[in-house]
Amino acid sequence: MTERNTTADRTVIAKRVPSGEADTSEIRDLTAAAGYQVVDSVTQTRKENPAYHLGEGKVEEIATAVVAANATVVIVDNELGPYQTYNIGNKFPTGVRVIDRFRLILEIFGQRAQTRKAQLQVELAELRYELPRAEAKASLAKRDERPGFMGLGEYDESRERDIKARISRIRDELEQIEQDDEHRREQRRESGFDLVALAGYTNAGKSTLLRQLAEDLAVDENEDLHPDLDSTAESEDRLFTTLGTTTRKAALDRRDVLVTDTVGFISDLPHWLVESFKSTLDAVYRADLVLLVVDVSEPIEDIHEKLVTCHDTLYERNEAPIVTVLNKCDKVTNEEIERKRDAVSALAPNPVMVSAKTGESIDQLSSRINDELPAYERERLVMPMTEETMSVVSWIHDNAFVDGVEYGDHADEVTIEFEARPTIVEQSRSKAQRLVETEPSA
């Protein structure tokens, strides 16, 4: 499992970009989220060096910064191969840890994982990260003079076999959890609920939007609750508050809707990491409607890049309609909103503009949700009056929108007209049919 950072280790961050100027804002946020203290940063614009990722001279510059700042950790905002981690680590004083972007993300995930499902997904991602490094240890162990090397650890010839076996066991357990989750989703649909999922990048405002759409308490006690959804907490920018999902009940017009907030996306996630968290993302993949939340106050280039990444992630498996919600409209002018909406129209046709913070246009979003969810069906059932009839009428009242109930002249039959989800209509027909089949013969 990932080492848990318990103190604010003094940290030097480094980032390489192939062109342009390196932006370290996100890696600073991630570093802080993991509990590290940034004391210096080094950036470089150049092609990747196969041996060191950054240039060898730049690595030596980082080593100088480490000594000057008395740092104990170097975090590189790129993916490092096993050999690159080893080579970089050899340039630093003994005891300095080298962490790449994805190891840092795994540390954050590990700190946030509360439920069994979240913990298993984190461990699966960690093992997938470690597997190629275990393979690299085998080839490096013979020529490495120290008992281990930076970022890779000591070599154990059985480790690779153990990792593969553990991955297999975790997959089996997660598969059973996924089946249980899917059963629960179907039970909710059978109870008349539409399932809406919030997706998007971290800090786009999904949790705040959930508070606007659904003020009820979380539906599942065994699901992680976002601290910023607690009534005593303030909504604020925070990365990876939870790896679990928070589901709340919302009443939209005549519908009963369950809205689920999930872990936020971040940029440049490799396929193996996304795949490790498929169980959590199933809440999005298997929803009736997905609200893709985007921070409209960000630069157009960032919005476009994030929309592309989200679409690649969602459209691969998702079959439900996707509505793009351009959030934080209170932070930009109307002219800027129009300019950005036009710029991303190909990726986000007919988006909804809202401010989850102020509540602006939430009513319009609620109407759009109603329009996009599966259409209700109308039904008229005539049922004989038996001992079970009124319980069926009560059930329909609880799970559908009833237009009216009429009783026959001799109270020997009941007619009920209602609108409901197709699954509820089908269940109502089945219940009515059983009443006919069990009616005493004249």
Annotate 133-145 with DSSP letters as a single string. HHHHHHHHTTT--
Q: What pLDDT was estimated at residue 225?
A: 38
Residues 226 and 277 in one domain: yes
Helix (H, G, I), strand (E, B) or coil at 320: coil
Residue 62: give its domain's CATH number: 3.40.50.11060
Instruction: Using the 3D structure, point to which of 329, 350, 372 is the last residue of a domain.
Output: 372
Residue 1 to residue 5: CA distance in whole angstroms: 12
* Amino acid at site 435: L
Instruction: Using the 3D structure, point to which of 112, 140, 162 is the last residue of a domain.
Output: 112
Residue 212: give its domain's CATH number: 3.40.50.300
Residues 231 and 361 in one domain: yes
Cα–Cα–Cα angle for 284, 287, 288, rounded to 5 degrees = 145
Residues 284 and 236 in one domain: yes
Q: What pLDDT was estimated at residue 222?
A: 42
Residues 213 and 346 in one domain: yes
pLDDT in tens, 33-54: 889 999 999 999 999 999 999 9
Residues spanned by the domain of 16: 10-112
Residues 66 and 133 in one domain: no
Q: What pLDDT was estimated at residue 385?
A: 87
Residues 224 and 335 in one domain: yes
Q: What pLDDT was estimated at residue 387?
A: 82
Q: Provide the terminal-to-terminal Cα distance of the chain, rounded to the nearest Å.
A: 71
Residue 274 belongs to a domain = yes
Q: Which residues of the chain have pLDDT under 70?
A: 1-8, 138-157, 215-244, 251, 268, 271, 279, 316, 410-411, 439-442
Our measurement of the distance from residue 138's CA atom to the centroid of its chain's CA atoms, rounded to an integer in Å, reads 35
Q: What is the CA radius of gyration of the chain?
A: 27
Q: What pLDDT was estimated at residue 243?
A: 59
Query: Do residues 223 and 245 make contact, with C-beta atoms less than 8 angstroms apart?
Result: yes
Q: What pLDDT was estimated at residue 4?
A: 43
Residues 368 and 391 in one domain: no
Q: Give start and end residues of each alpha helix (H) in 316-361.
A: 334-343
Residues paired with 294 in a beta bridge = 326
Q: What pLDDT was estimated at residue 353?
A: 95
Q: What pLDDT was estimated at residue 411?
A: 67
Residue 386: give its domain's CATH number: 3.30.70
Residues 160 and 261 in one domain: no
Query: Do residues 423 and 417 make contact, with C-beta atoms less than 8 angstroms apart?
Result: no
Q: What pLDDT was estimated at residue 234?
A: 34
> Whose structure tokens read 């059985």?
158
DSSP state of 330: G
Task: Tell me the two tokens of residue 343.
Answer: 């710029």
Number of domains observed in the structure of the chain: 4
Confidence (pTM): 0.72
Residue 413 to residue 419: CA distance in whole angstroms: 20
Residues 313 and 257 in one domain: yes
Burial 62-92 (b: 16+ CB within 10 A, else e): bbebbeeeebbbbbbbbebbbbbbbbbbebb
Residues 17 and 107 in one domain: yes
